């Protein structure tokens, strides 16, 4: 049938639009359900503790190795132009503007995001969310909202840790092992990094990623088929969707922020 591909395209489009609309409505419902949280900040701080702990080790170790690699590659490239003194600046800018927020968000999706999806999905499969509703407690407010804000708050902190450890990694390789001048490494960094252009933009990025990744993880868990296969599939979807979303948003934000 010649019409089949056209019909499929139409169906796919309709389903995509409906899906996006449904996700947007859930997002708004989640924001509304957050209103009651200011009376119970413990719910959020507990989750920051959990979520932060999940990801801290992997973020710190990855930051260190990314810093090592930046030190090596940066030195090799800058050396060609005789400007290896700028190594500190290059390492810092790469981390603060791009690698810190983006790699942190990708790792966060893989580590904390998947466990959030699985946790919520299993709560749904075990009828725990239904039980909560029957106890006149809104699961959006009691379960999803604290985790959401915890993710949004934890993400920039983790990105900051990633960047800080990364800079140290670049210092160890560049200065201690290769022998770039230590004074130049730090002073060029100090002189060239702008608190608004570089640091604030990086923080904004990671907050946006925090919204995107945490919401994706929670939504996938909340909408998972309440079966073992359903939860497994939802966990996979979290990684795929959150990663693509992060990379797409990064391009968008970079285009807005650094388009002089």
Partner 1 sequence: MPNLVEIRDLHFHYGERAILSGLQMDFPRGKVIAVMGGSGSGKTTILRLIGGQLAPRSGHVQVDGQTIDELDTPALYQIRRKMGMLFQHGALFTDLTVFENVAFPLREHSNLPEDLLHDLVLLKLQAVGLRNAAQLKPAEISGGMARRVALARAIALDPQLIMYDEPFAGLDPISMGVTANLIRKLNDALGSTSILVSHDVREAFLIADYVYFLSAGAIVAQGTPAEMSASSDPYVKQFVHAETDGPVPFHYAGRSLVDDLGLGAAE
| Contact footprint for partner 1 (CB under 8 A) | 122-123, 126-128, 130-131, 133-138, 142
CB of 163 within 8 A of CB of 67?
no
147 Cβ contact list (under 8 Å, min separation 6): 47, 51, 116, 120, 214, 218
Asked whether 234 and 212 are in contact (CB, 8 A), the reply is no
CB of 193 to partner 1, least distance (A): 42
Residue closer to partner 1, measured from CB, 25 or 247 = 25
- Smallest distance, Å, CB 127 to partner 1? 4
Long-range pairs for 89-92: beta carbons < 8 A, 24 or more residues apart? 89/188, 89/189, 89/191, 89/192, 89/193, 91/67, 91/166, 91/167, 91/170, 91/171, 91/174, 91/189, 92/163, 92/167, 92/170, 92/189, 92/192, 92/193, 92/198
- Between 14 and 32, CB nearer to partner 1: 32
Nearer to partner 1, 14 or 248 (CB): 14
3-state SS of 76-94?
Answer: HHHHHCCCHHHHHHHHHHH
**Closer of 124 and 205 to partner 1 (Cβ):** 124
179: left (phi over 0), alpha (psi -120 to 50) or beta: left
Q: List, as one string, the DSSP characters of 97-137.
A: IIIHHHHHHHHHIIIIIHHHHHHHHHHHHTTHHHHHHHTT-
The nearest distance, CB 131 to partner 1, in angstroms, is 4
Cβ atoms of 143 and 123 closer than 8 Å? yes
- Choose between 83 and 128: whose C-beta lies nearer to partner 1: 128
Q: Shortest gap between Cβ of 124 and partner 1 (angstroms)?
A: 10
Tell the smallest beta-carbon distance from residue 212 to partner 1 (Å). Answer: 26
Closer CB to partner 1, residue 85 or residue 128? Answer: 128
* Residue (39 or 260) nearer to partner 1, CB: 39
At closest approach, how far in Å is the CB of 133 from partner 1? 6
Distance CA 191, CA 110 (A): 35
Minimum distance from residue 32 beta carbon to partner 1 (Å):
11
C-alpha torsion angle, residues 85, 88, 93, 95 (rounded to 10) = 140
């Amino acid at each position: 049938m010649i019409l089949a591909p056209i019909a499929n395209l139409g169906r796919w489009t309709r389903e995509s639009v409906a899906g996006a609309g449904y996700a947007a409505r859930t997002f708004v419902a989640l924001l509304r359900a957050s209103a009651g949280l200011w009376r119970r900040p413990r719910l959020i701080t507990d989750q920051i503790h959990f979520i932060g702990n999940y990801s801290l080790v992997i973020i710190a170790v990855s930051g260190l190795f990314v810093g090592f690699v930046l030190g090596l590659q940066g030195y090799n490239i800058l050396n060609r132009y005789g400007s290896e003194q700028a190594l500190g600046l290059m390492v810092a800018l790469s981390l603060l503007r791009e690698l810190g927020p983006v790699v942190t968000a990708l790792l966060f999706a893989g580590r904390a995001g998947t466990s959030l999806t699985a946790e919520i999905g299993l709560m749904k499969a075990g009828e725990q969310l239904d039980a909560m509703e029957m106890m006149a407690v809104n699961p959006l407010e009691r379960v999803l909202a604290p985790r959401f804000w915890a993710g949004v708050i934890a993400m920039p902190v983790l990105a900051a840790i990633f960047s800080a450890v990364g800079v140290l990694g670049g210092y160890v390789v560049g200065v201690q092992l290769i022998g770039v001048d230590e004074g130049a490494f730090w002073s060029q960094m100090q002189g060239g990094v702008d608190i608004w252009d570089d640091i604030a933009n990086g923080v904004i990025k990671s907050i946006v990623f925090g919204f995107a990744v945490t919401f994706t993880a929670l939504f996938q868990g909340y909408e998972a088929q309440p079966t073992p296969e359903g939860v497994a599939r939802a966990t996979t979807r979290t990684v795929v969707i959150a990663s693509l979303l992060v990379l797409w948003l990064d391009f968008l934000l970079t285009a807005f922020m650094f388009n002089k």
